[in-house]
Amino acid sequence: MQFRAPIDAIAPGCLIIYSLTECSLNYCSFKSNVFKTQEVTFADTKETIVKGGRDLFPLLPKAFEGIKKIGVIGWGSQAPAQAQNLRDSLAEVGSDITVSIGLRKGSSSFSEANECGFSEEAGTLGEMFDVIKESDLVILLISDAAQATLYKEIFAAMKPGATLGLSHGFLLGYLDSIGESFPENMDVIAVCPKGMGPSVRRLYEQGKDVNGAGINSSFAVHQDKSGKATELALGWGVALGSPFMFETTLRSEYCSDIYGERGILLGAVHGIVESLYRRYQRQGMTPEQAFLETSESITGKIVKIISTQGIKAVYEQFNDADKAEFQKAYSASYMPAKEILQEIYDEVSSGNEIRTVIMHGKRINKFPVGKIDGTDTWIVGEKVRANRDEDKIPINPFTAGVYIATMMAQIDVLLEAGHPYSEVVNESVIEAVDSLCPYMHYRGVAFMVDNCSFTAKTGSRKWAPRFDYILDQLAYTAVDNGVPVNQQLIKDFEQHPVHSAVEECCKLRPAVDISLFAETSTKEIVIQ
């Protein structure tokens, strides 16, 4: 059963937790005996958070009390980042906790783990099930498909009293879909960085001389048999370098996360760029100018304003003529985008989207996933990036209107489903502008699709064409046919309470901007 409620019907500071079978209200307010919590006002609600920072590292031994060995299982993108950050943070305060990597026997990633300082000789690298058996905290970062295949063996291998750590709620979604659950005799927690692994590591390294530089994380305590699960989850987030951590649930996380990557984080932005790139050429632009006015405008200028000043700041910097152009695009795009976004949310929350990923995984050997970076859009994009002058990238008001209308529609779908502002803003805004879009700007949107996790890739490739189609068929057609601007939609946008929530989150953003350079040739960028 799915629960929807208007945001004003939800008590301040509440989080709706929903599953396939039941709905219940739980207040998202938590306590910690180790870390200082604080109450933050996001729009019309108050939420409890923990602000991270390197000054909190001396508290890590207490948060990790009882943990002697942490096993980080896998080596995609999150795993190397999290393992190195955990290792470095704990070492900085003289902790004797061992951080070990567990990999499939014969995995080619053994050499990469060696290069990052993990070794079999030192007891910090080994076969995955051997590491699982020895670990007090098992951080499971193998692919979603592998988790769905191996979960029974993993649960059986864990020693009594060990804690299972996740960075994504997919496994719970899969267990929900088949009527199973986690073993009752273990703690189950999650720390979910709101960005890619390379961002988690890069900002951590950049922040070694800057307190509070990293990627925001949500955390969840799904099962707490020991009574220590919250402290352990918060310690994990602090050790990763998260500037702030907010509470969620595993179900809420997988619904918002899987939904978000199909929306404005990846799938929607891909569809927006492709549709506008063609539109602008029909209007007489060269391919190079069309790419500048679409992809470059979004990833190079629009998101940078949103990152530091908020969503509405993009609109407010336009002159009257450009505001009118923004309004036309926003008014025409909001409802078509929301129609698709609501469908995506329904597919995710019902379990259908998770089943789609699993079924796709079973077909993968017969139908390998090809790359999508060969279209004219992305070939031209390579040329534009090679000759880029950042100062000459335009802020196209029509492009901004389409992009922001889609972002706002995604926000509204999440708010109407009862997600708290912290989660809504991080999954719809912060992750886009502070983590994913900088990489898109560096390597291209198609590169992101081709190199993201299987779950994200499956979803973005499925839904991006839907955004492309509906915008081209409904939104742009409405503009071309002179359909009047819906002034109520514009007023709703101007007065939306999310703007103050975004501005509050901007104050809690990473202390430095992520830097990207040539060595960023990650073999797989995993969006979690």
Residue in 240, 239, 230, 229 with CA at minimum distance from that of residue 32: 230
> Which residues fall within 8 angstroms of residue 78, CB to CB, at 6 or more apart?
141, 167, 193, 196, 197, 200, 526, 528
Q: Where in the chain is the domain with CATH 3.40.50.720?
A: 38-243
CA distance 443 to 435: 13
257 annotated as belonging to a binding site for a ligand:
yes
Residues annotated as part of the active site? 168
Mean pLDDT by 10 residues, the chain (528 residues): 31 34 46 94 90 94 97 94 97 97 94 96 96 98 92 97 96 93 96 89 84 85 96 97 93 94 97 98 98 98 94 97 98 98 96 91 86 93 95 97 98 96 94 90 92 90 97 98 98 97 82 56 40
CA atoms within 13 A on the CB side of 473: 8
391 among annotated binding-site residues: no
User: How many whole angstroms separate alpha carbon 6 and alpha carbon 70?
Assistant: 42
For 38-243, give the CATH class.
Answer: alpha beta
pTM of full prediction above 0.95: no
- Cβ atoms 274, 461 nearer than 8 A: no
Task: Specify whether the CB–CB gap between 248 and 220 falls below 8 A.
Answer: yes
Going by the DSSP 8-state scheme, the letter that residue 404 receives in this structure is H
- Name which CATH class applies to 259-508: mainly alpha
Please give the Cα distance from 311 to 405 (Å, whole number). 10
**How is residue 31 written in tokens?**
């306590």
Residues 6 or more apart whose Cβ sits within 8 Å of residue 31: 37, 230
Instruction: Enumerate residues 6+ apart whose C-beta is below 8 A from 136.
Output: 66, 67, 68, 69, 70, 159, 161, 162, 163
- The whole-angstrom separation of Cα 195 and Cα 51 is 17
Res 25: pLDDT = 32
pLDDT of residue 208: 82
Long-range own/partner contacts, residues 23-27 (CB < 8 A, 24 or more apart): 26/249
Please answer whether residues 384 and 273 qualify as being in contact, where contact means their C-beta atoms are separated by less than 8 angstroms: no
Contact 50, 60 (CB under 8 A): no
CB burial of 492-526 (b: ≥16 within 10 Å; e: otherwise) equals ebeebebbbbbbbbbebbbbeebeeeeeeebebbb
Distance CA(332)–CA(150), nearest Å, equals 46
**In degrees, to the nearest 5, what angle opens at C-alpha 417 toward C-alphas 256 and 255?**
20
For CATH 1.10.1040.10, list the domain ranges present in the chain: 259-508
